[in-house]
């Protein structure tokens, strides 16, 4: 176990998730020796205020990883593919938000508090799961440990912030244009997102599912160490919400489940906040979850579609638990476990 | 079979669905002898332009049903409970949009083109299914006839127009208020609907499902004549869309299904328009479905959650197929089949 505090780098510091990483680093007690902010040449030179100091964003180049112990990366798949191996070779642990290495069997895919042990197998790269998978892992881990998941069917209601700054601005522009009765030509999306829902996120795979949908299937299996006998499908849909992904979840279990017992179990699970009281119309919504850290679970009920199953509604800030928060938590785990 | 053309009444003519009924009656070739427009005392006296003539809305009273053959009713459950038996006693066929009689075993629950034969059992009242059920019936009927449904899991993305004029105006007000950075106190909904989704539609039942969700279970079973062995569950969610309900549907079948074959089957089913070509990003969205009559189906794929199953995305104008259009179609069927 190394005793010295780590030198940190944040790659993609000026993007939507990068900014959120900075916010969370400011809130959290991550102790470090030094920190630097890397981005593409386009953003290099811009200023970042962090913990009361002003930093200049530096262009990401191989030599910038020299002496860095942990890199929190959120700069897209191509950038990660380029820099992760360079970073690893220089002894820096690259915590990656992109999908580039998630299904690589040599790269652990980890949600803090769910499968931390997998971090020990890292060879310089650690992957952060996709947002739509991430928020499901805390509740599903607790439920799987007790009831053993047999089948999982997820329908998502995903916020535009998952598609970046352009998409956030497009929602506003599209809404404003529609409100004055004008048509709008979408750019960030294939269809208008204002007052609409779009049943496609990411590109299509050969089996007719989108990559986003297959991420839920494949990443869930990898993180929870589920076998191929566990069946998982997803329908991923974009909705006109700025921040906060919601998911309607149906799970079938091997063991007999009871909603009341499951609710108590989830109430006692770290990282989850149960908001579930139908007598007071208490359930989570994305607007309430935005800017917050917990995974919110509500509408927990015994499934009437499965002999032993649950239906529930799961909401979280997609930029936090689905991206930046887990990245920071993974960095903390790497530091605590002395894995750098 | 009666030869004379019927005398029609539209009850609740000034509401969201009532207005849509008038639009569809103007578009369609429903032949009638006379037509009158009934509403509550509050709306009585207001004027309605219909097929180039001006009509005065009359207060709904028992005597107004004298001599009327068919009443197209969309005036809420309490009004229907009051007037439907009066209407039936006077020999008028009451086609009801409310939920008041849907599960009454003496009242047929019918989607035109799906279970028209059930109309023959009517005793003066015919029920129109709930919007979230309605749009599923055409595709599910075709699929059930061929592959036999075993299990059905539905997640809805429901437009605010399903909650009436107040809800439509609230979405606009809430959005405008948010755009200038102000908070908004919701009235029509329990939570803000702008840039949010709300996982509750209608009140809660004892089993933790909402009434809206149980309507999908119970009405689907009644319309398709499915046994209790067929398992059906639903998660009903309100989204900030004006018109057009969307549904992510997962179905398990008894017989072996194939997505390509199912797509052809649905293409050849009356009332359905298949929009499903992933190579051109072709799939339905509610904004495209608004104001149109077909049930749109896309994203048809072999389920990876069931050994024999399909996932698909189903979109329709909730005010049309989900309410007014089916009401008018049922009136047409009653006329054609001489059931008045």
> Which domain covers residue A56, as residue numbers?
7-129+323-336
A1 belongs to a structural domain: no
CB-closest option in A233, A241, A287 to B304: A233
Mean pLDDT value across residues B51-65: 96
Whether B2 has a pLDDT exceeding 80, the answer reads no
For residues B233 and A250, the answer to whether their CB atoms sit within 8 Å is yes
Q: Give yes or no: residues B32 and B55 share one domain.
A: yes
| pLDDT, tens digit, 9 for 90 and up, residues A93-119 | 999 999 999 999 999 999 999 999 999
* Residue A208 to residue B278, Cβ atoms within 8 A: yes
* Residue A250 to residue B235, Cβ atoms within 8 A: yes
* Residue A153 to residue B152, Cβ atoms within 8 A: no
| pLDDT, tens digit, 9 for 90 and up, residues A244-286 | 999 999 999 999 999 999 999 999 999 999 999 999 999 999 9
What six digits make up the tokens of A186? 């979408």
Distance CA A196, CA B64 (A): 41
ipTM score of complex: 0.95
Percent of chain B with pLDDT over 70: 99
Tabulate helix, strand, coil % of chain B (nearest 5): 35, 25, 40
The distance of A321 to chain B (nearest Cα, Å) reads 18
Q: Which of residues 177-196 of A touch B (CB under 8 A)?
A: 179, 190-192, 195-196
Alpha-helical (H) ranges within chain A are 16-27, 77-89, 131-147, 165-179, 211-224, 259-267, 286-289, 325-336
For residues B331 and B68, the answer to whether their CB atoms sit within 8 Å is no
Q: Give yes or no: residues A151 and A120 share one domain.
A: no
* Nearest CA-CA partner of B189 in B212, B163, B213, B210: B163
B2 belongs to a structural domain: no
Mutate which of A190, A192, A208 to test chain B, going by most B C-beta atoms within 10 A?
A208
Q: Which of residues 114-133 of B touch A (CB under 8 A)?
A: none
| pLDDT, tens digit, 9 for 90 and up, residues B88-126 | 999 999 999 999 999 999 999 999 999 999 999 999 999
Q: Give yes or no: residues B142 and B287 share one domain.
A: yes
| pLDDT, tens digit, 9 for 90 and up, residues B200-256 | 999 999 999 999 999 999 999 999 999 999 999 999 999 999 999 999 999 999 999
Distance CA B182, CA B226 (A): 49
pLDDT confidence of residue B206: 96
For A214, list phi and psi in degrees, rounded to 5: -70, -25
Alpha carbon distances (Å) from B226 to A43, B137, B141, B145, B191 = 60, 12, 10, 11, 36
**Confidence band for B10, pLDDT divided at 50, 70 and 90:** very high
Nearest CA in chain B to A300: B208
pLDDT confidence of residue B304: 98
Q: Which of residues 153-182 of A touch B (CB under 8 A)?
A: 153, 155, 157, 171-172, 175-176, 179
B22 belongs to a structural domain: yes
* Nearest CA-CA partner of B223 in B124, B141, B314, B148: B141
Whether A3 has a pLDDT exceeding 70, the answer reads no
Q: What DSSP element (H or E) covers B75?
A: none
For residues A110 and A126, the answer to whether their CB atoms sit within 8 Å is yes
pLDDT confidence of residue B322: 84
Number of domains in chain B: 2
Give Cβ neighbours of residue B33 (< 8 Å, ≥ 6 apart): B4, B5, B6, B7
**Confidence band for A19, pLDDT divided at 50, 70 and 90:** very high
* Residue A207 to residue B304, Cβ atoms within 8 A: yes
What six digits make up the tokens of A175? 């809404």
- Residue A322's Cβ-count burial label (10 Å; 0-12, 13-18, 19+) is buried
Alpha-carbon dihedral sign for residues A302, A306, A312, A313 = negative
Q: What CATH number has the domain bearing residue A83? A: 3.40.50.720
Q: Give yes or no: residues A257 and A140 share one domain.
A: yes
A-B Cβ pairs (cutoff 8 Å, strict): 164
Whether A314 has a pLDDT exceeding 70, the answer reads yes
Catalytic residue annotation of B: 131, 245
**Confidence band for A80, pLDDT divided at 50, 70 and 90:** very high
Distance CA B101, CA B97 (A): 9
CB-closest option in A233, A239, A306 to B303: A233
Q: Give yes or no: residues B234 and B298 share one domain.
A: yes
Q: Give yes or no: residues A224 and A169 share one domain.
A: yes
Mean pLDDT value across residues B146-171: 97
* Residue B285 to residue A198, Cβ atoms within 8 A: yes
Q: Give yes or no: residues B302 and B164 share one domain.
A: yes
* Nearest CA-CA partner of B9 in B331, B338, B293: B331
Distance CA B217, CA B227 (A): 11
A53 belongs to a structural domain: yes
CB-closest option in B179, B240, B259 to A240: B240
Q: What DSSP element (H or E) covers B287?
A: helix B286-289
Q: Which of residues 283-302 of B touch A (CB under 8 A)?
A: 283-288, 298-302
Whether A14 has a pLDDT exceeding 80, the answer reads yes
A173 belongs to a structural domain: yes
For residues A137 and A168, the answer to whether their CB atoms sit within 8 Å is no
Can you give the pTM of this predicted structure? 0.96
pLDDT confidence of residue B16: 87
pLDDT confidence of residue A295: 98
Q: Give yes or no: residues A141 and A115 share one domain.
A: no
For B251, list phi and psi in degrees, rounded to 5: -125, 135
B116 belongs to a structural domain: yes
Alpha-carbon dihedral sign for residues B134, B139, B143, B145 = positive
Q: What CATH number has the domain bearing residue B234? A: 3.30.360.10
Mean pLDDT value across residues B294-311: 98
For residues B244 and B296, the answer to whether their CB atoms sit within 8 Å is no
pLDDT confidence of residue B3: 62
* Residue B286 to residue A157, Cβ atoms within 8 A: no
Residue whose structure tokens are 């086609």: B95
The DSSP bridge pattern shows strands A295-302 and A272-274 to be parallel
B1 belongs to a structural domain: no
* Residue B208 to residue A239, Cβ atoms within 8 A: no
Distance CA B55, CA A266 (A): 59
Distance CA A217, CA A236 (A): 12
* Residue A305 to residue B237, Cβ atoms within 8 A: no
DSSP string, A139-184: HHHHHHHHH-EEEEEEEEEB-GGGG-HHHHHHHHHHHHHHHTT---
Q: Give yes or no: residues B209 and B123 share one domain.
A: no
For residue B318, count other CB atoms closer than 10 A to its CB: 31
Q: Give yes or no: residues A153 and A285 share one domain.
A: yes
Mean pLDDT value across residues A292-319: 97
Question: How many C-alpha atoms does B18 have within 13 Å on its Cβ side?
Answer: 22
A305 belongs to a structural domain: yes
Whether A325 has a pLDDT exceeding 80, the answer reads yes
CB-closest option in A204, A283, A303 to B200: A283
What six digits make up the tokens of A9? 């780098």
Catalytic residue annotation of A: 131, 245
pLDDT confidence of residue B27: 87
> How high does pLDDT run on average in chain B?
96
Mean pLDDT value across residues A170-180: 97
Q: Give yes or no: residues A112 and A160 share one domain.
A: no
Q: Give yes or no: residues B201 and B279 share one domain.
A: yes
| pLDDT, tens digit, 9 for 90 and up, residues A190-200 | 999 999 999 99
């Amino acid at each position: 176990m190394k005793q010295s505090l780590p030198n940190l780098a944040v790659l993609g510091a000026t993007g939507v998730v990068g900014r959120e990483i900075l916010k969370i680093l400011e809130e959290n007690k991550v102790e470090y020796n030094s920190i630097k902010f890397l981005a593409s040449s386009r953003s290099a030179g811009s200023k970042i205020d962090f913990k009361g100091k002003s930093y200049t964003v530096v262009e990401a180049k191989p030599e910038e990883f020299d002496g860095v112990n942990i890199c929190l990366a959120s700069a897209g798949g191509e950038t990660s593919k380029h820099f992760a191996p360079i970073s690893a070779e220089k002894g820096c642990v690259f915590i990656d938000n992109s999908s580039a290495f998630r299904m690589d069997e040599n790269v652990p895919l980890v949600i803090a508090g769910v499968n931390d042990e997998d971090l020990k197998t890292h060879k310089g790269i650690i992957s952060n799961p996709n947002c739509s998978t991430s928020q499901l892992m805390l509740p599903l881990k607790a439920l799987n440990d007790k009831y053993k998941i047999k089948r999982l069917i997820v329908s998502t209601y995903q916020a535009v912030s998952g598609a970046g700054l352009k998409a956030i601005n497009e929602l506003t522009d599209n809404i404003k244009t529609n409100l004055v009765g004008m048509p709008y030509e979408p750019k960030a999306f294939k269809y208008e997102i204002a007052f609409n829902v779009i049943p496609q996120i990411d590109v299509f795979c050969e089996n007719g599912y989108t990559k986003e949908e297959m991420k839920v299937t494949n990443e869930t299996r990898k993180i929870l160490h589920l076998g191929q006998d566990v069946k998982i499908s997803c329908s991923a849909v974009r909705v006109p919400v700025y921040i906060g992904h919601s998911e309607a979840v149906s799970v079938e279990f091997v063991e007999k489940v009871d909603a009341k017992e499951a609710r108590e179990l989830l109430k006692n699970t770290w990282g989850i906040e149960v908001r579930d009281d139908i007598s007071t119309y208490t359930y989570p919504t994305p607007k309430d979850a935005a800017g917050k850290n917990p995974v919110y679970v509500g509408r927990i009920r015994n499934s009437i579609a499965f002999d032993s199953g649950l239906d529930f509604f799961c909401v979280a800030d997609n930029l936090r638990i689905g991206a930046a928060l887990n990245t920071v938590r993974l960095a903390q785990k790497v530091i605590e476990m002395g894995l750098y």
